[in-house]
Structure 1
Amino acid sequence: MEIEGHGDLTALVSRILDRTDDSAAGRDRLALLVSAAQTVTRELDLTHALQRIVEVGRELVGARYGALGVIAPDGSLERFLHSGLTVERAERIGSLPTGHGILGAVVTDARTIRLDRLADDPRSAGFPAHHPPMGSFLGVPIRVGGAVFGNLYLTERAGGDPFDEVDEALITTLAAMAGTAIANSRLYERAQAERRWLEASERVIQRLLAGQLSPDDAAEVAETVLAVSEARGVVLRIGEGDAELAATAGDALGDGPRLDVPLLGAEERRLGTLEIVRGPDGHPFEEGERETAERFARSVAIARELALSRIDEQRLALADERERIARDLHDHVIQSLFAIGLTLQSTVGDPTSPMGAKIAAQVDAIDATIRQIRQAIYRLSAAPAAEAYSLRARINTLVRQTLEGEDLDSRLEFSGPVDTLVDTSLGDEVAAVVREALSNAVRHARARAVTVSMAVRGAQVVITITDDGIGMPVSGRRSGLENLRARAVELGGTFAIGPASPRGTQLRWVVPWKAS
């Protein structure tokens, strides 16, 4: 009876028992086979499970040496476990097999190879120095379905006898167990990776929709992707042309496998690109990894669109409220003041008398108040320009104009409801702070890069400006910095300036946004 694979276990058990004169020895071999199956189902650590399979394989067929190699998705050797070699011999052999020769043939041919004498096969070449001599050989591919995950092989059967078909059936059964362990481990790793991506997506989406993360804050999203993908570098690009927002996390300029994922919003509208880069030794991205990254990018892109839409709705609501206030001032307040003024004028009598002069003065004051209210109505009713209406746009323009023509890289970050909570008055103060800090970086710091960060956190507006220049001078004029400090104190806030890491200067200006 020919036994192939592990299809007919009953026949395999019969052959094992028939082969041994001692029934106890046969039962021991079956117990070893069962223990290997239990290890695969119970052991969470893949390396321990595979090591146990190699050791059981040696015992089952009486081999002196055994080894198991796991093939990575890119075809390289991911793991190599051995049994029978002393630690000293393994250290003298040195580097692991590369998957060529007879070992590679087991994988590439995807079939079992059984040899009476390994040296007689022309493919048995490339063994390193200090490798022990090996006679009989049995190599079995490790696979699940049509996919080959590695190989399991045994050499030097006890007594110098060659391996037979029962040995082959036993090791094929063990190889199937190893394949199950490897497949389950990769499924678990993929599930864990997808869970990390999903949790990261939920965090970013929640922060975007809660107004805690600005839709323009590409840096935080890039750092999130870097952490969850365990890659070497990440580049996130949102928009295009002059309006493009770009952020880099890690080292995204080195060589290595690269994955480009589009940021697709509603109706498949392309909003940008997410680039993930692995190191030179990283394995290529699998299709499952691409799909997971694409789901993350699509979710974040749609959440960003929703956040921007909500900001637009808030702007429209603010414009409607301004118009309502202007209308109420005109229809009610001014008319009431005008009526009061007419009533007072009718009671003036003799304007040269003391009482008449006082009443006339109050009428003039009412007229002045009406003029001021009309000016306020005009400002409320006037459609603000984009820069005046959006503090983000205003600061963006300020940074671009200030650094135009300068050999200086800039990075601009926003976080929180900047446009909705910071009014024009406080926005003027913010603009002055940014202008002064950028001027210092250009004129005095000799910086190569500067980062401007504006965040609304709770009841505070936080401005942080960092450059990589020569740092604060020991002496010299600091009138501009003192002005910034005075502005902060006047608004009930704080101002600090000190060294940045690893070099340069960091300025931090914090005031309550309700101060204005």
Structure 2
Amino acid sequence: MNGLMTAIVSMAEDLSLQSVLEQLAQSAAELLNSRYAAIGVLGPDDTLTHFITVGIDEDQKRLMGDVPTGHGVLGQLIREPKPLRLHDLHEHPLSVGFPENHPPMTTFLGVPIRVREAVFGNLYLTEKAGGEDYTAEDEELAAALAAAAGVAIQNARLYEDSRRRQRWLEAGMEASTSLIVEDSPSPDADLDLVAEHALRASDAVLAVVAAPDGESMEVYTAVGALAVVAGQEVLCPPSLREADVERRPLVLRNPEEVFGPGSGEKLGHVLAIPIGHGTSGDRLLLLARQAGGSQFTQADLESGAAFGSHVGLALDLNIAHRQREEALISVDRDRIAQDLHDLVIQRLFAAGLGIQNLRRFATDPAAEARITKLTEELDESIRELRNTIYSLRAKQTDREGLSRSLFDTVHECLRSTGIIPKITVEGRLEDLPSPLARQVLAVVTETVSNAARHSGATSITVALTALPDAVEVLVEDDGKGFASPARASGLANIQRRARSLDGTSSVDSIPGTGTRVSWRVPLTAR
């Protein structure tokens, strides 16, 4: 009885669950004079997820290989949670033997460990000193120790849950404060910060922020162990799609459902948390623990959901703040552009007309040439000012971001030609996914560059149209045209891009009448 009381007191001294279990196994071995003791912890599917041993050193554990999962005699205690005493383990009908390098064991005592009404796991004892069988008194002592352990385990669980909830709460507050107070350079940096805080709060080894899109997800940011990078696509199983629609957290037991074959060697369970339901969009935070590590608990699901809600609100506020700043900048740019148009261009135009009138007074050919040169310089200045006005009036949104890129791309291709292009943009460009937008710019670059280098054109028209179900690019020039080009690598690249996106591409050209290139792909292309 004194030994039992000492064991109970020693278990109550520590609030760490792992320490409580280790102390329980050690106390049981000493109290019942056993060479070996073990505790098997049950998982949700009634298999042993953890196996803590006393009496077997680390080298021997490695030689034995995988820990038991609950077969044979150990499974009997799982199926029928009541004390079990055996004279010889090998003689039991359910015995499946021992793995290679396992130490010999004969006598056996097993009792269930209950936490309130639920079976937490089992306490196993073998090899009582002197080869004696375990007695009814031993069984009573083990059962009393297991009952006391249930209380200690419950306290340790409550303590760990409270600490886990505190870590999640602190991480959510720190992340939200950093997002709102600090001036982060971009939305991507915001997501990096969210992933880093969640990684620390959850004891995970990988944190990924991704956006579901059908059967796959596009990764926005990734922090941690596995080789996952921004822009990569990972899987989105049906259970995860359903959780995304309902905006609720979910635990996936098999990481290969998301990260593909082989990921289970490094990763364990995956916790998916919605972190956006407004301006920031529908995104999921995926947290994976190490393979063989602890499982996510109900406290993780509840606290993770609160974390996702807090940081989602902070992300929405950040986006609103950036949009407000961009709107103020846009107002200033519009004012500056209007002043340039109304004052500077008009004065330059008037000065040009005045210089043109000087021609009637100039009789010297050198003076007339000088007047022509000044007129051309003024015209060039007016063109550059108009380009500046156009750029100032382009708002800094996703749609105008693509418009701005298109404008810059075309003018860069035509910088040394003197050609002034005509550019038109129609439709909701913000609906274009980033990969498709990059393909569009690549096609425009290829087509305009070809026209600038080979056609001899004096005018080029570029039209970009985003239809409800497709995006179209049309580039026309008034150059010399061709019947069959000497080199077709550029046109072949354009056609190959269209085919890779299930689209079409055509080139219409007649010598002496110019060239028309049409490129169209469906908006379902990725």
TM-score for both structures, normalised by structure 2: 0.50
For residue 227 of structure 2, the aligned residue among 244, 251, 258 is 251
1:359-400 per-position Cα deviation (integer Å, ceiling 9, x unaligned): xxxxxxxxxxxxx9xx99x979x9644469977985799793
Residues 317 and 47 of structure 1: CA distance in aligned 2, closer, same or farther (over 3 Å): closer
1:80 aligns with 2:52: yes
Offset of residue 140 of structure 1: 0.5
Counterpart check, 1:296 vs 2:307 = yes
Report if the CA contact (8 A) 2:89-2:106 is conserved.
Answer: yes
* 1:38 matched to 2:12: no
Alignment of 1:362-441 (within 5 A): 384-386=394-396, 394=404, 400=438, 404=442
Aligned partner of 2:272 among 260, 265, 289: 260
**Contact 1:67–1:152 (CA under 8 A) maintained in structure 2:** yes
User: Which residue of structure 2 lines up, in the alignment, with residue 463 of structure 1?
Assistant: none
Q: Do 1:238 and 1:246's aligned partners in 2 also have CA atoms closer than 8 Å?
A: yes
Q: Which runs of 5+ in 1 are unaligned?
A: 1-28, 334-371, 407-516
Match of 2:243 in 1: none
From the superposition, tell whether residues 77 and 280 of structure 1 become closer, same or farther in structure 2 (CA, over 3 Å).
Answer: closer
5+ residue gaps, structure 2: 229-258, 344-381, 410-436, 445-526
Deviation at residue 312 of structure 1 after TM alignment:
2.9
In the TM superposition, what is the alpha-carbon distance from 1:216 to its structure 2 partner?
4.3
Between the two proteins, what is the percent identity of the paired residues?
33
Q: Does 1:195 align with 2:159?
A: no
The alpha-carbon deviation at position 144 of structure 1 amounts to 0.3
Partner of 1:488: none
Q: Distance in 2 between matches of 1:87 and 1:104?
A: 24
Return the offset for 1:139.
0.6
Q: Distance in 2 between matches of 1:52 and 1:276?
A: 31
Query: Highest relative contact order (Cα 8 Å, sep 6+), 1 or 2?
Result: 1
From 303, 306, 312, the counterpart of 2:323: 312
Give CA deviations for 1:35-81 in whole Å, capped at 9, x if unaligned.
21221121355555434433433443444543333345563442321
Matched, 1:214 2:186: yes
Q: CA RMSD in A?
A: 4.9
Which residue of the partner structure matches residue 68 of structure 1? 39
Q: Secondary structure at the match of 1:124?
A: coil
2: CA distance between counterparts of 1:237 and 1:393?
A: 26
Conserved in 1, the CA contact under 8 Å of 2:20 and 2:156?
Answer: no
Query: What is the 5 A alignment of 1:12-411?
Result: 29-30=1-2, 32-44=3-15, 46-72=17-43, 75-83=47-55, 96-129=67-100, 131-135=103-107, 137-157=108-128, 162-209=133-180, 210-212=182-184, 214-217=186-189, 218-237=191-210, 246-249=220-223, 250-252=226-228, 253=259, 254-256=262-264, 257-266=269-278, 271-278=282-289, 281=292, 285-318=296-329, 384-386=394-396, 394=404, 400=438, 404=442
| SS in structure 2 at match of 1:264 | coil
Over 3 Å counting, the alpha-carbon distance change for 1:302 and 1:132 in structure 2 is: same
Counterpart of 2:184, as a letter, is: Q
Query: Which residue number in structure 1 is paired with residue 352 of structure 2?
Result: none
The CA distance in 2 between the partners of 1:379 and 1:312, in whole Å, is: 21
Alpha carbons of 1:221 and 1:51: their partners in 2 closer, same or farther (altered >3 Å)? closer
Cα displacement string for residues 64-101 of structure 1 (whole angstroms, at most 9, x for unaligned residues): 54333334556344232124x68897787665434321
- CA 315–128 in structure 1, closer or farther in 2 if over 3 Å, else same: closer
Distance 1:156 1:239, change over 3 A: closer
Q: Secondary structure at the match of 2:81?
A: coil
Preserved CA contact (<8 Å) 2:165 2:299: no
Q: Which residue identity is paired with 1:251?
A: A
* Equivalent position SS for 1:103: helix
Report how far residue 303 of structure 1 moved: 1.0
Change (3 A) 1:396 1:149: farther
Matched residue of 2:187: which SS? coil
Question: For residues 173-228 of structure 1, what are the alpha-carbon distances to aligned partners after superposition, in whole Å with 9 as ceiling and x for unaligned?
Answer: 21133334444444444444433333332233222214335334334433444444
Which stretch has the larger CA shift, 120-129 or 88-97? 88-97
- Matched residues in 2 for 1:126 and 1:116: separation? 15
Displacement of 1:281? 4.3
Give the CA deviation at 1:141. Answer: 1.1
Between the two proteins, the alignment pairs up a number of residues equal to 335
Q: 1:49 to 1:194 in 2, by over 3 A?
A: closer
Aligned partner of 2:511 in structure 1 is none
1:172 to partner: Cα distance: 1.2
CA distance in 1, matches of 2:160, 2:71: 28
Asked whether the 8 Å contact 1:93–1:131 carries over to 2, the reply is: no
C-alpha spacing 1:50/1:275, structure 2 compared with 1 (3 Å): closer
Q: Counterpart amino acid of 2:227?
A: D
CA–CA distance in structure 2, aligned partners of residues 384 and 272 of structure 1: 29
Aligned AA (1:198): L
Change (3 A) 1:206 1:171: same
In structure 1, C-alpha distance between the alignment counterparts of 2:289 and 2:283, rounded to whole Å: 20
User: SS at the partner of 2:283?
Assistant: strand
